Amino acid sequence: MDEFVIDGGRRLRGTTRINGSKNAGLPILIATLLTDDPCIIDNVPRLRDIRTTVRLLETLGKKVVWSKKKVTITHAKQLSTHAPYDIVKQMRASILVAGPLLARFNKVRVSLPGGCAIGLRPVDIHVVGLEAMGAKSTTTEGDIVLNGQLKPSKVKFRFPSVGATENIMMAAAAIEGKTVITNAAREPEIEDLADFLNSLGARVTGAGSSKITVEGKQKLHGAKHKVIADRIETGTLLLAVAAAGGDVILKDARTEHLTALIKALKKAGAKITPTKNGLRVQASGRPKAVSVTTEPHPGFPTDVQAPYMAYMSIAKGEARIREAIFERRFLHAAELARMGARVAVSGDAAFITGVENLSGAAVMASDIRAGAGLIVAALAAKGRTVIGRVYHIDRGYEQIEKVLRKLGANIRRLR
């Protein structure tokens, strides 16, 4: 298992381009199941989760050619409607095949993903949504089985789940008629998926708001699409620079995708200014403590909560972070404590009393973003940090050590 060795205390300087978004790339690749025509998806990050998605598409019957950032998906054989456990257990987003396959073939069988390090993560909102469109569901041998001919419907979510919104949008795109989703998720990745579904021939309006209308078509055609820049990679790098010190330009970063984080960073003292095609971040010494609560978009993103906690660990004063999306997304707190952070967790809140310096230690990544949090802490800390279980980080960040090294960090991968 790979490790990262980071000697902290170096300022970050220079320019880097943000990679394509993992969380937009995944559903868009899965949406190619909606057509037998070829699709070309560009700006796809080279990540473990994308590799898992490619394997999932191949298992279901697609031919996939991945060259650099471009993925070409063509029809190879009659699609299977069964997503097996050995893939689903590696990537929970596999549940997204349910909507498109059910809409096209009136049946689908997907292994239930089970819980994970950050929470229980049930799929009830996906299932209730598909049931509202006419599906019947049963659970057998650990799989969820859905049957029935879907009809355009009104689907109202109890919570704006990102994955469930994507699943229902894809299902609705493949059936004739108008489906309306209310209390839909508003994340930028939903808008990117909507753009792709529109280029396949569906008509999706309202994406980015909490009411999305999908006018589907029984037969969709192939399309080309370029995936948006990854706002979570952007957020992680903003926090890395703000915590470690320095001055960096992030090309392709989109300010409007990260307003809540940028507001908190500015309050804490970092300077963030838009550039022609991205943004510039300049650190300004020890941050002020600023409390935040994670929320569905456009609120503060749960996916940068761990890097933000690392940043607040060296702030002046006490910050409170409330995690309102996942039940147990504070595993990084104990690892940060090994580096000298003063964090107390009580229920869904973490209280961080900033210290002047963190110190390097041996720590372990428990999930993608917790790992990113440890990187931010290590870059700001005095001394050497060794981060174990880097495979978690590799699921969501494309060669982050190379990106950071280019900006002046002292980080290397031990294989």
Q: Does 176 bind ligand UD1 (CB under 6 A)?
A: no
Burial of 117 (0-12, 13-18, 19+ CB in 10 A): middle
Site string for ligand UD1, 297-316 (x = CB under 6 A): -----xx-------------
Rg (C-alpha) for the chain, rounded Å, is 21
Give the chain's largest Cα–Cα span. Answer: 61
d(CA 38, CA 32): 8
Q: For residue 266, what are its two tokens?
A: 């500015």
Cβ proximity to ligand UD1, 12 vs 393, nearer residue: 393
Q: Are 361 and 385 in contact (CB under 8 A)?
A: yes
- Strand spans (E) along 220-335: 224-226, 246-251, 271-275, 278-282, 292-293, 318-322
Cβ proximity to ligand UD1, 329 vs 389, nearer residue: 329
Active site residue 39: no
Cβ proximity to ligand UD1, 185 vs 283, nearer residue: 185
Compute the least distance from the CB of residue 47 to ligand UD1, in Å.
Answer: 11
Compute the least distance from the CB of residue 230 to ligand UD1, in Å.
Answer: 11
Phi, psi of 185 (to 5 degrees): -70, 150
Q: Does 98 bind ligand UD1 (CB under 6 A)?
A: no
Q: Are 188 and 208 in contact (CB under 8 A)?
A: yes
Q: Does 220 bind ligand UD1 (CB under 6 A)?
A: no
In this structure, how many other beta carbons lie within 10 angstroms of the beta carbon of residue 140? 8
Compute the least distance from the CB of residue 342 to ligand UD1, in Å.
Answer: 26
Q: Does 97 bind ligand UD1 (CB under 6 A)?
A: no
Compute the least distance from the CB of residue 296 to ligand UD1, in Å.
Answer: 7
Q: For residue 304, what are its two tokens?
A: 């940068």
Q: Say which of 40, 116, 117, 331 is annotated catalytic.
A: 116
Question: Which residues between 104 and 143 bind ligand UD1 (CB under 6 A)?
Answer: 119-126
Cβ proximity to ligand UD1, 48 vs 126, nearer residue: 126
Q: Which residue in the shown chain puts its C-beta closest to ligand UD1?
A: 163
Q: Does 292 bind ligand UD1 (CB under 6 A)?
A: no
Q: Tell me, rounded to whole angstroms, the distance of Cα 186 from its chain centroid.
A: 14
For ligand UD1, the binding residue among 6, 18, 26, 39 (CB under 6 A) is 26
Q: Does 163 bind ligand UD1 (CB under 6 A)?
A: yes
| Residue-wise burial string across 233-243, b where 16 or more C-beta atoms lie within 10 A, e elsewhere | bbbbbbbbbbb
Cβ proximity to ligand UD1, 93 vs 379, nearer residue: 93
Active site residues: 116
- For ligand UD1, the binding residues (CB under 6 A) are 23, 26, 93, 119-126, 159, 161-164, 185, 189, 302-303, 325-326
